[in-house]
Structure formats: structure tokens, C-alpha cells
Structure 1
Amino acid sequence: MATSSAAPSGRTRSFRRSPVCIWPAKPGRRATRLTKACGHDRGARPIPSLGEATGMTTEPSDRTIILHLLRGAVPERADEISGLWSQYGHAVEVAPSAKGVTMNADAKRIQFDTKTIDFFWLLGFSAWRAIEVYLPALLLATSRGMPLDQALNVDAERGQYEFDYKQRIASAQSLVAAEQTADITWPADIPEPTPDRESLGDNQQKAAFDLVAFALTFALLHEFQHVMFCADKSAPSTLPEEEIACDTYARDFMTSGLAAYAKKHGHDYAEVHQKRAMGTALAAVIIHAMTPTHAHWGNRQYPPIAERLIAMIGGYSLPADSRFWLFTACLLIALMRQENRPLDIIANSNQEMVEILLDRLR
């Protein structure tokens, strides 16, 4: 199994720096339990299968497990996804873990390896901590009309928090180059993958669990659109256009029809929409990290990564005070800082900050 080490600073930190809670103290119905595919790549999977979790005597196939993940994450479209799953009859193939990232699809199958699923977990839980690093400066900048770079400099505590954050992100990115998860040092303050949400230590970890589940759902829906394009011979004329179309499909599948679902089940529409959008924003950051630096500007196969970020994050019709804007701004600030880009940005709201940051990432 992956080894653990002390946190980079030699201590495990809480979220005490964050002056507001990004997530309700009692999150609503969870998206789903992460599947057995979230287990570390160490031969036999240690995580209970869906069959064990539900009392089934026969372990379900990987294809069934992924279908349950999608149905649980987007319950208002559960029957639709089951029908499509049956119609296209594609396989779900868990490949042996290898260097790089394995998540792809063709007309006959969706393929991934457990190391890539671990990458979603590790980077997702690590990126969640962007809130504690950049929220104080973000609030200072937007409340006082101060340039963001100046607000970051005013935050005297940021240095150690940011150093630790970058160390966690580096650990996650080292997983891409590794043969298997066991080859890296797993950060001590990031829980190892588990399908049991309730076993996590606090509400912050449970919130991260939910968002990682949504991020993984987004990625799998993206791959499923590739399956449908290939099977129907209906793909856009270029591969970069197909990638954007798959991103758009996944986002729309996760967010359309929410109003009727929320009303029927007594949920607050804005809260449900916000949570799905936050999961998609996290997926965007994970996909950014999965994309080699040399491909960030686009090539024959992929569009520029900034175009994908805009397709996934831009244009949400959420209220200006939605936590989505705050969370996404922190994620994008982290990306800009990792790439040493200037942050001489003046914005009067978190939403405006997100819009400017997306434009700067082009």
C-alpha cells in the first residue's frame, strides 16, 4: 500500500484559517459511495465491493459498479443513464496500472486503471485545501477593491499554508509518473481512498468526498459521450471539437433537470446546482493536472486546456453569493500561482474574480 509521511510542515492542520464554511454542516444526501475502483492498486482490491455494501451475494461487474456510481450521482436521470448503458452495451475495462493517465473510450468500452481513480481522489482532496490557502486574500481583495496580488502579500500566514498546499499537489502529480499508487508517499493528512463516506473524520473530508465523486462522475460521462459518438459515427469533425462536446455533454447531463428534481424531493435548487457545479469545477482542475504541460496550448487531439476550463466552469447561472464562485476562485488562484502568472486583478465579487481568472488562463 502507499506509505504515509508526516505533513510537509510536520503538523496536520485544520481549516481554522477559513472564516466561512464552504459547505453546510450537515450535507444533503451524498452523491454516492465511491466504487471499488477507488482502491489502491495493490493486487486484490481492499475496498468492499458494491455487493458487499448492499448484501448482494454475487460481486457485480465493474460495468455495473460504474453504472451505480452514475445513477447515484445524478439520481434524477438514473433511468435515462441505465437505458443508455443498455442501449450501447459497451464494456467497462479496469486496465493494469501504468505510468501516465489511463482513462479513455472507444465504441466498445470505457477504460481506466485504479491508479487514475486514486489520482482523482488524491488531487481532489488536495485541491479542496485551496480554500484555506487563498480564501483570506480573496475576501480581502473583493471586499476592499484591492489587487489580488497585494491581498496575497498582506496575508502573513499564507506562506506556510501555500507551501504545504503545493507539497500535497506535487504528491498528487507524482502519481502520474508512477507505475502504481504504492510507489508514491501518500500525504498523512489526506485520507486514503474508501467507499465509506461515514468513516471520514469530519465534514470537510465528507464534503471533499462528495465533490470527488461528482468529479469522477463528470469524467466518466465525458468518456461515455465518446462511446456514443464512436458507436453512432456522429463525432464532430475534429478531435478537439469532440473533446469540448464531451465536456459539454457531461456538464449538461449533471445540471439539466435539476429544478424539477429539487422541487420533487424538497431540496433547495440553488444548493443542489451549486454542489454539482463545484464538483465540475474540481473535475476541471483534475483534468488540467492530467494534461501534459506541452499540450496546454492544444494540439491535433486536444483543444487548449483553457477552452476546456471555460466549457466546464464558465457561464453558470448561480447567485453571486453562491459558494461555487468562492470555491472556484480559490481553485483558479491556485492554478495561476502554480504557473507563476501575474495576479494584478481587481474584482468586486467572487463571480467577477472567476470570470477574470478564466480569461487570464487563456
Structure 2
Amino acid sequence: MLDVSKAIDLLFGGAAPERLEEINVLWGDGNERAFLSDRPGFLLEAGFEVVQVNEIALRQIWVLAYALSRAADFYAWPLLFLAKNQLPFDLKLLAEIPDQAAGDAAFDQALDAVAALAEARSVDDVPLPVGIPVPAPGVRSGGIADQAGFDLACMASAYVFLHEVRHVLLARDKGEALAPVDEEIECDRFARSMMLDGVGQYARDHQVDPAAVTAKRVIGILFAKLAILAVTPVAERQGSDTHPAVRDRIRSALDAAPDPAPDWFWVAAAGAVAALTRALAVREGHLLAPVPFPQFRDLAQTLLHKL
């Protein structure tokens, strides 16, 4: 297995640089804290006080987060149109909007690739969907959409690794163990805290709007949770003896949004949730009834419940 501890440190430093020193104090800053495995299937877990991940999981998160970024973008105009005309979120109405079918088809191709990766021996066996670049730093040198896709995919990845780091820290603690579901909730809380609690300091240091920074990071966390939902078997989405319901975990991300949020935030959040809800409803044969929505926040929350 390949030691990727330093690579994950770089990820944390990009997503929440103001917390990197604190993370290093808690988790350490040496080698042999995280390893890249060659096991097939989705692998991202803490065990024996280290984090293990494989290329399949990294590629699935990249594809889903990048596709969700594109989906939030191409759903913005249709959602604004529906809201302006006081129309519900309705798949029949969406089908009448020019180019909407092409955007939805691109998102479906991303989900197909993620499903194929789950059965693959190597990421090389599954071509990247059209429009999703190879994950590399050079992606960020493209246009605004490429920059957003790269940044949000990195933030989503940082969040899921922070979740696993908390599992490692709890395993090191010799105190009373948490029940499995409670431990998952605690690991979610820790990851959100590391991503969001230092935003004020970051905003002061860089002279930027803290609400804008919080909003971007919350979208990254939302994409992480939506990605996890997409790779979770249907039977396990409502929760289990070891994990809380996925939609509750997504709701906890949205609850962390700044108030007031930037104008774009709830349109983007609703667009991402809408894209995944539509795709899963079609894929799994569910009827998605029209959803009236007074505000984009209401649409995001209602569609989240349907997930």
C-alpha cells in the first residue's frame, strides 16, 4: 500500500487552511497515517488507527462532486424560471426547457460511470464521462466552471477524510466507546467543525466575506453527502444499526448554511439536490410528483426528504 498521508494534508490545507495546524496536532504530521489500497470496490474507512482509501473511491467522489457542480450550474436557470412564474418543480415542465435533457443526460452518464467503477478492478477500466476532466491541479487553470468543479470536489474529499480522521482519534481514545450510530454523528460533526468553525479567522486573514466562504464550504460538504448517498445501496439509505439515515446527514450539512446566505447558495443547493433526486427517481422507477416551492431552500429540503 502507498502512504498518502502528506497528500491528504495538502487536501486539508486547501479546504480549511486555517485549521491545518490544529489537525496536525490531533492527527499527527508524519507518515503512515493514511494509505492507498488496491482493493476493489468502494474503500474509505478508518481501521487500526489509520485511514485507508482506494483509487476507486477517490474517482467516484471526484466524478460525483464534479458532476454535481455542473448540475447546480445547469439547473440554475430552469429553477429561476419556475420560481419567477410560480410553477412547481415538475419533470414534465423541465422536459420542455431547451438543453435540459442534455444536462440531465450528462449527469446520468456520471452516475453510470460511478456504478461501473463499483464493479471495476481499476479506475482505468472506466472512462471518465464526457465533460469531467482527469483530476489534476491543472484543471483549476480552466474557466470558472472548471475552477468550481475542482474546488468543490476537493472540499468534498477533505470532508470525507476529516470524518475518517475522527474515527481514528476516537479509536485512540481509551475512554468509553460511542455507539456506532452516535460515532457516525460525532464524526460528521467533527468534519463540519473543522471545515466551518475557523471561517471567521480565514475571512479576516484574506479580507473576504465570511458568509461567502461558509457558503462555498457548505456546498462542498453537501456534495460529499450527496456523493455518499449515490453510492449507498437503496436498502441502507434509511439508516442501519451502524449509520444514521443519509438524508438526515445531508440535512445537517444544509443546516450549517450561513443566514443570510449569498443569493446563489440556495439555488445551487436546490439544483444539486434536484439533479440527484431526478436521476435516482428515474433510475429506480419512482414517481416524482410536482413539488411547489415558495423558496429554493424549501425545494432543497422537500427534495431531500424524497431522497
* TM-score of the aligned structures, taking structure 2 as reference length: 0.89
User: Counterparts of 1:157 and 1:310 in 2: how far apart (Å)?
Assistant: 30
Question: Over residues 247-300 of structure 1, what are the superposed CA-to-partner deviations in whole Å (9 max), with x where a residue is unaligned?
Answer: 121112100121232123211112211111111111111111221222112222
Kept in 2, the 8 Å contact 1:107–1:229? The answer is no
User: Counterparts of 2:301 and 2:131 in 1: how far apart (Å)?
Assistant: 32
Corresponding residue number in structure 1 for 2:55: 114
2:204 corresponds to 1:263:
yes
Corresponding residue number in structure 1 for 2:299: 353
Corresponding residue number in structure 2 for 1:289: 230
Corresponding residue number in structure 1 for 2:128: 186
Corresponding residue number in structure 2 for 1:14: none
Which structure has more helix as a fraction of its residues? 2
User: Counterparts of 2:203 and 2:127 in 1: how far apart (Å)?
Assistant: 41
Counterpart residue identity of residue 360, structure 1: K
Residue pairs, 1:231-310, within 5 angstroms: 231-234=172-175, 237-310=178-251
User: Counterparts of 1:239 and 1:321 in 2: how far apart (Å)?
Assistant: 36
One of 145, 152, 156 as aligned partner of 1:204:
145
Corresponding residue number in structure 1 for 2:284: none
Question: Over residues 16-38 of structure 1, what are the superposed CA-to-partner deviations in whole Å (9 max), with x where a residue is unaligned?
Answer: xxxxxxxxxxxxxxxxxxxxxxx
User: Counterparts of 2:269 and 2:289 in 1: how far apart (Å)?
Assistant: 15
User: Counterparts of 1:130 and 1:87 in 2: how far apart (Å)?
Assistant: 36
Kept in 2, the 8 Å contact 1:141–1:347? The answer is no
Give unmatched runs, 5+ long, in structure 2. Answer: 282-286
Shift of residue 165, structure 1, vs aligned partner: 2.2
User: Counterparts of 1:127 and 1:287 in 2: how far apart (Å)?
Assistant: 12
Residue pairs, 1:154-193, within 5 angstroms: 154-193=96-135
Kept in 1, the 8 Å contact 2:49–2:169? The answer is no
Change (3 A) 1:357 1:218: same
Residue pairs, 1:60-75, within 5 angstroms: 62-75=4-17
Question: Over residues 66-104 of structure 1, what are the superposed CA-to-partner deviations in whole Å (9 max), with x where a residue is unaligned?
Answer: 123212321111211111122998621111141x21000
Shift of residue 317, structure 1, vs aligned partner: 2.7
User: Counterparts of 1:236 and 1:265 in 2: how far apart (Å)?
Assistant: 40
User: Counterparts of 1:177 and 1:235 in 2: how far apart (Å)?
Assistant: 38
Give unmatched runs, 5+ long, in structure 1. Answer: 1-42, 46-60
* TM-score of the aligned structures, taking structure 1 as reference length: 0.76
Q: SS of the counterpart of 1:129? A: helix
Corresponding residue number in structure 2 for 1:228: 169
Counterpart residue identity of residue 302, structure 1: H
2:74 corresponds to 1:129:
no
Corresponding residue number in structure 2 for 1:82: 24
Question: Over residues 100-136 of structure 1, what are the superposed CA-to-partner deviations in whole Å (9 max), with x where a residue is unaligned?
Answer: 2100003520000122112221222222221344223
Counterpart residue identity of residue 293, structure 2: A
Counterpart residue identity of residue 290, structure 2: D
Shift of residue 307, structure 1, vs aligned partner: 1.5
Kept in 2, the 8 Å contact 1:229–1:235? The answer is no
What's the Cα RMSD here? 2.4
Change (3 A) 1:234 1:118: farther
Change (3 A) 1:104 1:347: same
Shift of residue 186, structure 1, vs aligned partner: 2.0
User: Counterparts of 1:276 and 1:201 in 2: how far apart (Å)?
Assistant: 21
Query: Once the two structures are aligned, what percentage of the paired residues are identical?
Result: 28
